[in-house]
Structure 1
């Protein structure tokens, strides 16, 4: 099995060196490239297409625009690794296309877990910070879902209920006896139907719908 290729972009040389050293000691990861600005993210992504990017937010350039551009152009996962603890920063990053948000100060093991999690298609947020982010996303989701009627197929309804029970894409695929790629396709459809930009917004919209505040029509 090929190691997960990771690109590291941070404008603090010591932090960049430390992250590089941690990853190089792990046989399941390889360091594809390093950079120090938002422009480096786009350049590295288009040249090397690493599996996962680890990026800081506070760097030269518009990091949010770059994240949005990159995920549109190539199949890569963006994991934000930052000291910014404002939930608004996390929401902006996730809405731009990031798959994870880890606070600096987290353990090396948590960071490695986050990389593996986003690589397999799931979302990761530092647990101690997740409640603030979820609340912020919930407010935005409720505003978007007001007065909306959503029609879900039987299969989509099954997936929604599994999401509410905390199932990952892999677990959903195994339980329904379908391919993991098929589950991802359903997630894309659900994001469109629920007007959601990411997995967390799908979950929040599903919680609201299942709670009975908006009608769900299944066919």
Structure 2
């Protein structure tokens, strides 16, 4: 039985081209087409295509639309077909339940393959871009684990912030209205928690903890 597929794109020529191209495939049946988020939701609710190929830049609240379709329009599966090579957006829609992410620079064969793979219950992401998404997701998970393992209390974060300003223990004690002995106690805890040997290393470790996700994400973008 052919896979029923619908296309939603606000570029009339591209939409007509997609419909014409994939209507000629023996294993596909183009069941509907639209040009905005309202059309996408209507098609999903009324036609229930096996696969809905959806441009992320169409008019309307695309994220809310995706969420509604995933929640209410089983068994329709969504493929994002877009020019947006944006890692954060890709991860966001994949988390919402999109099963495919195909860049518009891909070949017609790639999109056809994506439709078959997604219909089969698997995920398809444009090769190359998929690597960047995986690296970014790994970086986010690493950062989350680091934050859990080395989570600072509110007081510890306050002390670190003053350390970054170059304040002494006495000055920190005055600003926080605590004793200097208490500040020294927190310094000991911070050095143990952050594997630091002195005040400078505490500051550097805290900065590294805050910047790790951003640096890893930048690396993913350029790999």
TM-score range, shorter chain: 0.5 to 0.7
Unaligned runs of 5+ in 1: 149-219
| Superposed CA offset, 1:153-210 (max 9, x none) | xxxxxxxxxxxxxxxxxxxxxxxxxxxxxxxxxxxxxxxxxxxxxxxxxxxxxxxxxx
Matches within 5 A, 1:88-107: 88-107=88-107
SS in 2 for 1:7: strand
- C-alpha deviation, 1:95, in angstroms: 1.2
TM-superposed CA distance for 1:145, in Å, is 5.6
Per-residue CA distance 1:89-134 (angstroms, 9 max, x = gap): 1111111110010000111111100000011010000002111111
CA distance in 1 between partners of 2:144 and 2:46 (Å):
37
SS of 2:52's equivalent? strand
Q: Which has the larger radius of gyration?
A: 2
Q: Secondary structure at the match of 1:6?
A: strand
Determine the C-alpha separation between the residues in 2 that align with 1:38 and 1:89: 17
- The question of whether the paired residues in 2 share the 8 Å contact of 1:38 and 1:63 is answered with yes
What is the aligned partner in structure 2 of residue 85 from structure 1?
A: 85
| Aligned pairs for 1:190-205 within 5 A | none
Count of paired positions: 147
Q: CA deviation at 1:50?
A: 0.5
Q: What SS does the aligned partner of 1:102 have?
A: strand
CA contact (8 A) 1:65 1:96 kept: no
- Give the aligned partner of residue 37 of structure 1: 36
The answer for the alignment partner of 1:28 in structure 2 is 27
Distance of 2:4 and 2:145 partners within structure 1: 38
Correspondence for 1:71: 70
Aligned residue for 2:209? Answer: none
1:8 is aligned to: 7
The answer for unaligned runs of 5 or more in structure 2 is 150-223
Is the CA contact 1:78–1:100 (under 8 Å) kept in the aligned structure 2? yes
Given the two structures, how large is their TM-score scaled by the length of structure 1?
Answer: 0.64
Local SS of the residue matching 2:113: helix
Equivalence for 1:124: 124
Higher RCO structure, 1 or 2 (CA under 8 Å, sep 6+): 1
* Partner Cα distance (2:19, 2:71) in 1: 26
> In the TM superposition, what are the counterparts of 1:125-164 in structure 2 within 5 Å?
125-143=125-143
| Structure 1 residue ranges (4+ consecutive) displaced by more than 6 angstroms after TM superposition | none
Kindly report the root-mean-square deviation, in angstroms, between the aligned alpha carbons of the 2 structures.
1.5
Partner of residue 179, structure 2: none
Partner of residue 113, structure 1: 113
Deviation at 1:142, TM superposition (A): 3.6
Distance in 1 between the 2:145 and 2:97 partners? 20
Aligned to 2:177: none
